[in-house]
Structure 1
Amino acid sequence: MPEGGFAAWSRDRLAVARRGAEECGDVWQLEPGVYVAAAAGPCEEVLRNAEEFPKAPSPLFPPLKRSSGAPTREERARAHAARMRGLRAHAVAARIGEIAPSAARFADQWPTGEDVEILPLVRQALADIGVHYLFSEDAPTLLPFASQLFLAREVLVRPSRWIVPRWIPTPARRFRTRQQVAFTNALRPVVRRRRSSGRLGDDLLGQMLRPTSRYGLLSEEAILDTLPGITVATFETPSRAAGWILLYLARHPRAADRVSAEAALLPADPAATTNTHLDSLQYTQALIREVLRLHPPSWLLTRRATRQTQLGGYTIDAGSTVLVCPYTAHRDAREHSEPDRFEPERWLDDSGSPAKPGAFLSFGTGPHGCEGVALAMAMLTLLTAQTARRYHFSEPSGPEPSFQVTTFEGLTTAGLRLRATVRS
């Protein structure tokens, strides 16, 4: 345990995480029953072993209480499989022409010549893209409810001095339930209309409405219960990532120029953008991966040991918490040369392949890895390319920082302000 222990952790979790990795090794103990996996190998081992280290069963939007009962575990698993039909890489690739126009619109509407707080703007743009990807023509109806779901999430995860049992109906939890009910009530007639008309749609909801030869139709409740979480996830984590990416475009103008040059080859009509165009943005994607290596939005992942096991020389007792730390794993010199250096080029050769175990954990890995990684990368790539194509970015001048780093729930550039000037 590094000096200061849990009290120091509470004050500056990033600094203690780095110090713990440097002083204590690949796995270290934060306090009795709490361990930190700080290097690529242990992180990969924990995340891939979902039986010994399962994800805590505490969904942000748990199934609503109904007289008919919540969907069974089997129904939830089937709903997840149906959802994945619309989120796999080939499904995202087929819809790039729908994502690109919204990214271009966001860039076109950026206020120029003034310091602007960017996260609300980015979040709204990514919500437009994400909700449209899920619900197509029904997105305008559902977008306001999705925004309220995000607000409920923000209220629920705010830091608190007190740990309140999950069964206690706090004001934040009651607010969450109200917004979840409102979203479900807005979505239910959409589901029923599509089913009754037979026009299921080609979006993610349409994929979930299609019967399979093995299981037939998903129940309406299984569909409704699985969608609030993924709706918020399509834009919440990517928004945090986009804040870091745009900050790096401001701080590294040569890299931004290279992204701009690459983006100049995109079609003049964004709707004509295809997955081939997306694949051609190799440096842009390398820049995004490098930013997310240095600042993974989900920088700390919680797992709980189901039985006594060994990890990094420690005996981990059943019930112990293991904090998986991509932030320190990504800054390990054994995995990345000059790990604190911003170097997008490291991802353009085979040695920096994100497929290398433990080399890139910003989207997690294993059974509980981010299911929307293909969609998130497409959204971030097109948003980055279109904004860099049009603007130079700079941080505000003056003694005050342009943002604060927050680490609770995710690594975020809270309050980030940037100024955009049109490229000549």
Structure 2
Amino acid sequence: MGRSNEPPRLPDGGFAAWSRDRLALARRGADECGDVWQLEPGVYVAATAGSCEDVLRRAQDFPKAPSPLFPPLKQSDGAPTAEERAHAHAARMRGLRAQAVAARIGEIAPRTARFADRWPAGQCVEVLPPVRHVLAETGLHYLFSEDAPTLLPFASQLFLAREVLIRPSRWVWPRWIPTPARRFRTRQQVAFTNALRPIVRRRRSSGRLGDDLLGQMLRPTSRYGPLPEEAVLDTLPGITVATFETPSRAAGWILLHLARYPRAADRVAAEAALLPADPAATTSTHLDCLPYTQALIREVLRLHPPSWLLTRRATRRTQLAGYTVDAGSTVLVCPYTAHRDAREHPEPDRFEPERWLDDSGSPAKCGAFLSFGTGPHACEGVALAMAMLTLLTAQTARRHHLSEPPGPEPGFEVTTFEGLATVGLRLRATPRG
């Protein structure tokens, strides 16, 4: 007999229904059960804004799963200590904070402009591959500056390893089993690390550490001195892929909305007309003059958060939204349904970028927004991601009208496994007059 205060179970729910249509079942669970509902014994879904934020902010009770996609490589001279990893994270964050990103907008803008410049006029093309390539170029330049072209092929293989590793499978193998996908991941991680190692050593030996994120990590601090080489190398494969993988999924949804809402696209284009003709002259001040563009991006990400489901595990028996959650239980945090909480966002299914602006057209905070997480484990690259997406959106709308292929069926497939994406999305670009 179950506990009287356990979260409610969704009738006809469970893993079988979940595997058929995860988005639909998530909506049903939120609508019929409220804040928290039970998918299977020991597996719960935090479905509304309050319960999602509660889980994400209580990192001690609900820590992030300790299984990174690119775990530290086993080194003959020993892996970095927990303290060294903490220092590496702090150094990485210095390079990703909003002030650091703002100072390098003039480097980001020309690379994101290449997407619009390269789009063949009048042709219907699959957009995610070129988006991913441009954002990979942009992200790697931000991380590694002039060394980015050397590392770009290895980063592309890391992305492929990620895609192979997360591919749905009938079997869930224990983490210690070296499956073919895991061996492929390790080979690509080793190749990336081996390509990066001489760059680190060259910069240190020359004393020219650089002003990019890698330079921030190589710069000694007065308190801790220089980071060990392995502590620098271990932390970079994951963040390298993250700089373009999640933003690429987001960009697919944004471009689709530019095609489906031409009036909104026209308004973005009007803002973008004020950007410098030379993208390299763009500054953070110019980004501040794109409030509607940023509001449109936030609205798209509210409706279609690329990381629509986050996994946490309870470390102890605790309470969540008035229900008891046992130690070891899995809690699925669902920004997708939290963003559709009508208590937070009136008419939550309506696409309305204006909800993120106040009466004067300036940015305004409006309800829950969990597309980049929140709390101790919020996305550390949010400033970089927003800068890349804002510039890509503005420059694309400035140059092109977008449209979907004719026909009654959508020209893409919505996938929900390890992210919400528009796989196979095809759009046509017509130059603006």
TM-score normalised to structure 1 length = 0.98
**Distance of 1:4 and 1:225 partners within structure 2:** 44
Alignment of 1:149-168 (within 5 A): 149-168=158-177
C-alpha displacement at 1:353, in angstroms? 7.1
Name 2:122's counterpart in structure 1: 113
Q: Is the 8 A contact 1:352 1:359 kept in 2?
A: no
**5+ long unaligned stretches in structure 1:** none
Q: Is the 8 A contact 2:94 2:216 kept in 1?
A: yes
Name 1:78's counterpart in structure 2: 87
C-alpha displacement at 1:67, in angstroms? 1.1
**Distance of 2:161 and 2:103 partners within structure 1:** 32
C-alpha displacement at 1:313, in angstroms? 2.3
C-alpha displacement at 1:120, in angstroms? 0.4
Q: Is the 8 A contact 1:130 1:231 kept in 2?
A: yes
Q: Which of 30, 42, 52 lines up with 1:21 in the alignment?
A: 30
Name 2:11's counterpart in structure 1: 3
C-alpha displacement at 1:199, in angstroms? 0.3
Q: Is the 8 A contact 1:353 1:359 kept in 2?
A: no
- 2:291 equivalent to 1:285: no
Name 2:140's counterpart in structure 1: 131
Report the 3-state secondary structure (helix = DSSP H, G, I; strand = E; otherwise coil) of the residue aligned with 2:235: helix
**Distance of 2:234 and 2:365 partners within structure 1:** 33
Q: Is the 8 A contact 1:346 1:352 kept in 2?
A: no
Report the 3-state secondary structure (helix = DSSP H, G, I; strand = E; otherwise coil) of the residue aligned with 1:5: coil
**Distance of 1:51 and 1:389 partners within structure 2:** 46
Q: Is the 8 A contact 1:97 1:273 kept in 2?
A: yes
Percent identity over paired residues = 85
Report the 3-state secondary structure (helix = DSSP H, G, I; strand = E; otherwise coil) of the residue aligned with 2:96: coil
- 2:403 equivalent to 1:390: no
**Distance of 1:400 and 1:276 partners within structure 2:** 41
**Distance of 2:377 and 2:162 partners within structure 1:** 20
Give the letter for the 1:233 counterpart.
A
Give the letter for the 1:139 counterpart.
A
Question: Hey, which bits of structure 1, 4+ residues long, moved more than 6 A?
Answer: 350-354
Q: Which of 423, 426, 431 lines up with 1:422 in the alignment?
A: 431
Give the letter for the 2:179 counterpart.
T
**Distance of 2:44 and 2:362 partners within structure 1:** 28
Name 2:382's counterpart in structure 1: 373
Q: Is the 8 A contact 2:358 2:364 kept in 1?
A: no
- 2:177 equivalent to 1:145: no
C-alpha displacement at 1:106, in angstroms? 1.6
- 2:175 equivalent to 1:176: no
Name 2:321's counterpart in structure 1: 312
C-alpha displacement at 1:249, in angstroms? 0.2
Q: Deviations over 1:180-230 (max 9, x none)?
A: 000000000000000000000000000000001111000000000000000
Q: Is the 8 A contact 2:291 2:362 kept in 1?
A: no
Report the 3-state secondary structure (helix = DSSP H, G, I; strand = E; otherwise coil) of the residue aligned with 1:193: helix
Report the 3-state secondary structure (helix = DSSP H, G, I; strand = E; otherwise coil) of the residue aligned with 1:361: coil
Name 1:102's counterpart in structure 2: 111
**Distance of 1:267 and 1:337 partners within structure 2:** 37
Q: Is the 8 A contact 1:89 1:375 kept in 2?
A: yes
Q: Which moved more, 1:360-369 or 1:60-69?
A: 60-69
Q: Is the 8 A contact 1:303 1:323 kept in 2?
A: yes
Q: Deviations over 1:52-92 (max 9, x none)?
A: 00001000000111111211111111100000000000000
C-alpha displacement at 1:114, in angstroms? 1.6
C-alpha displacement at 1:355, in angstroms? 5.3
Alignment of 1:44-55 (within 5 A): 44-55=53-64
Change (3 A) 1:352 1:104: closer
Give the letter for the 1:123 counterpart.
R
Q: Deviations over 1:329-380 (max 9, x none)?
A: 0001100010000000000129997756x61000000111000000000000
Report the 3-state secondary structure (helix = DSSP H, G, I; strand = E; otherwise coil) of the residue aligned with 2:76: coil
**5+ long unaligned stretches in structure 2:** 1-8
Name 1:187's counterpart in structure 2: 196
Q: Is the 8 A contact 1:86 1:204 kept in 2?
A: yes
Alignment of 1:321-360 (within 5 A): 321-349=330-358, 359-360=368-369
Q: Which moved more, 1:393-402 or 1:85-94?
A: 393-402
Aligned residue pairs, count: 423
TM-score normalised to structure 2 length = 0.96
- 2:236 equivalent to 1:227: yes
Q: Is the 8 A contact 1:36 1:325 kept in 2?
A: yes
Q: Is the 8 A contact 2:291 2:363 kept in 1?
A: no
Report the 3-state secondary structure (helix = DSSP H, G, I; strand = E; otherwise coil) of the residue aligned with 2:319: strand
**Distance of 1:2 and 1:111 partners within structure 2:** 48
Q: Is the 8 A contact 1:403 1:417 kept in 2?
A: yes
Name 1:58's counterpart in structure 2: 67
Q: Is the 8 A contact 1:354 1:360 kept in 2?
A: no
Name 2:370's counterpart in structure 1: 361
Q: Deviations over 1:214-273 (max 9, x none)?
A: 110000000000000000000000000000000000000000000000000000111000
Q: Is the 8 A contact 1:88 1:374 kept in 2?
A: yes
Q: Deviations over 1:303-346 (max 9, x none)?
A: 00000011112100000000000000000110001000000000
C-alpha displacement at 1:111, in angstroms? 1.4
C-alpha displacement at 1:47, in angstroms? 0.2
**Distance of 1:403 and 1:77 partners within structure 2:** 41
**Distance of 2:286 and 2:155 partners within structure 1:** 30
Report the 3-state secondary structure (helix = DSSP H, G, I; strand = E; otherwise coil) of the residue aligned with 1:421: strand
Q: Is the 8 A contact 2:373 2:379 kept in 1?
A: yes
Q: Which of 416, 421, 432 lines up with 1:407 in the alignment?
A: 416
